[in-house]
């Protein structure tokens, strides 16, 4: 979690706990029961009360994260009224969205750090968690980065409503606005513009320590953009066969299913010993044109009708090239 946000949340929780009659000592006693480095935590609280900026650096930020979690746990264990529970759930959604945005803003950070921040608000291996991870993999593959300076990428949660709360699960409905401008990391050319005003339905559950975390984020959105597919090279390697006919069938299936990127890459891998230089050049140009058509659609330069016509034309080119490649073998 970002330092200032964590500090703000801790201060809010401490103030509410004191208003409910819990002493500073009782909070410290609880924290002392959860971990061993009590002196460091107590020292933090002393400095925290004086509003000094402390605990910079990754290791100390992890300490701050633990303090934040311990205070939230103490708060939840002792304050169980409905308004407070709704506030906790709303806080999870709000903080999770902030962490997700920060994650997209820094796609090249160490995986361990990204996992540490996401796992505060998302269950590991949950659909919501994997959706973010897959988005990161996609953006890294295409060398995209989120632009704030020139285009103003941002997000805003417009409303939060706690729909249902059970003992271990909860459903939260939100209306959210997300605006992403993905640019090429080197050229800074705009590659993908994402404007979404949508309704989200979150499914949350408690983890083993009683913390509410997100399992699923189901979205109904207004956007109709089409990102270029993530190319799964490990999947292509698994499909690769020593048999020419089997590779021919696999390549033809990709093209027939309009999965042009996987089709092109599979052809280059499986038939590399038989491809002529001009055939490789045609495949590379087709891939480049395919990605450029997506860029033009996703930056509102062309409409869907023009896009579909261009993609169909590229698909036809690859089908014709495949016939030539397969005839060469015979």
Per-residue tens of pLDDT for the chain, all 330 residues? 566 676 777 777 777 777 777 777 777 777 777 665 555 555 555 555 544 455 455 556 666 677 777 777 777 667 666 667 888 899 999 999 999 999 999 998 888 889 999 999 999 999 999 999 999 999 999 999 999 999 999 999 999 999 998 888 999 999 999 999 999 999 999 999 999 899 999 999 998 888 899 999 999 877 778 899 999 999 999 999 999 999 999 999 999 999 999 999 999 999 988 899 999 999 999 999 999 999 999 999 999 999 999 999 999 999 999 998 887 665
Identify whether 292 is part of a domain.
Answer: yes
Under DSSP, the state recorded for 167 is S
Instruction: Give me the number of domains the chain comprises.
Output: 1
The rounded distance, in Å, linking the Cα atoms of 195 and 222 is 8
According to the model, what pLDDT value does residue 183 have? 97
The rounded distance, in Å, linking the Cα atoms of 287 and 323 is 18
Under DSSP, the state recorded for 227 is P
Identify whether 222 is part of a domain.
Answer: no
Identify whether 29 is part of a domain.
Answer: no
- Which residue, 13, 39, 294, 297, is CA-closest to 142? 294
Identify whether 189 is part of a domain.
Answer: no
Which H or E run contains 323?
helix 304-329
Cα radius of gyration (the chain): 25
According to the model, what pLDDT value does residue 39 have? 57
Q: Is 200 helix (H, G, I), strand (E, B) or coil?
A: strand
The rounded distance, in Å, linking the Cα atoms of 129 and 214 is 8
- Which residue, 126, 5, 6, is CA-closest to 66? 6
Identify whether 54 is part of a domain.
Answer: no
Identify whether 198 is part of a domain.
Answer: no
According to the model, what pLDDT value does residue 12 have? 75
The rounded distance, in Å, linking the Cα atoms of 116 and 137 is 17
Identify whether 272 is part of a domain.
Answer: yes
According to the model, what pLDDT value does residue 80 have? 60
CB 318 within 8 A of CB 260: yes
For 79, residues 6+ apart whose C-beta sits below 8 A from its C-beta are 16, 17, 20
Identify whether 297 is part of a domain.
Answer: yes
The rounded distance, in Å, linking the Cα atoms of 91 and 72 is 11
Please give the residue range of the domain that contains residue 306. 233-329
The rounded distance, in Å, linking the Cα atoms of 330 and 322 is 13
Query: How many other C-beta atoms can be found within 10 angstroms of the C-beta atom of residue 258?
Result: 11
Q: What is the 3-state secondary structure (H, E, C) of 178-189?
A: EEEEEEECCCCC
Q: Are strands 169-184 and 190-206 parallel, antiparallel or unpaired?
A: antiparallel
Q: Against a cut of 0.95, is the pTM above it?
A: no
The rounded distance, in Å, linking the Cα atoms of 20 and 75 is 10
According to the model, what pLDDT value does residue 52 have? 46
């Amino acid at each position: 979690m970002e330092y200032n946000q964590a500090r703000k949340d801790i201060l809010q929780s401490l103030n509410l706990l004191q208003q409910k009659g819990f002493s500073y000592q009782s909070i410290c006693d609880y924290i002392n029961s959860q971990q061993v480095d009590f002196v460091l935590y107590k020292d933090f609280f002393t400095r925290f009360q004086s509003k000094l900026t402390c605990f910079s650096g990754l290791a100390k930020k992890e300490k701050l994260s633990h303090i934040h979690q311990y205070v939230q746990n103490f708060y939840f264990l002792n304050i169980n009224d409905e308004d407070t529970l709704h506030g906790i759930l709303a806080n999870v959604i709000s903080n999770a969205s902030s962490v997700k945005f920060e994650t997209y803003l820094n796609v090249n950070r160490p995986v361990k750090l990204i996992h540490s921040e996401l796992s505060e608000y998302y269950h590991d291996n949950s659909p919501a968690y994997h959706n973010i991870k897959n988005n990161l993999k996609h953006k890294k593959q295409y060398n995209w980065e989120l632009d704030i300076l020139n285009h103003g990428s941002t997000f805003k949660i417009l409303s939060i409503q706690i729909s249902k709360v059970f003992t271990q699960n909860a459903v939260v409905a939100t209306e959210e606005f997300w605006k992403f401008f993905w640019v090429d990391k080197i050229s800074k050319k705009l590659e993908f513009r994402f404007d979404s005003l949508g309704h989200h339905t979150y499914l949350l559950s408690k983890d083993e320590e009683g913390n509410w975390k997100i399992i699923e984020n189901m979205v109904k959105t207004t956007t109709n953009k089409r990102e270029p597919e993530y190319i799964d090279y490990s999947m292509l390697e698994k499909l690769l066969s020593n048999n020419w006919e089997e590779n021919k069938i696999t390549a033809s299936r990709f093209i027939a299913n309009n999965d042009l990127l996987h089709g092109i890459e599979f052809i280059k891998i499986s038939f590399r010993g038989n491809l002529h230089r001009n055939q490789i050049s045609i495949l590379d140009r087709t891939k480049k044109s395919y990605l450029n058509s997506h860029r033009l659609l996703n930056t509102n330069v062309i409409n869907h009708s023009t896009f579909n016509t261009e993609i169909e034309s590229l698909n036809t080119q690859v089908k014709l090239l495949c016939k030539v490649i397969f005839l060469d073998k015979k």
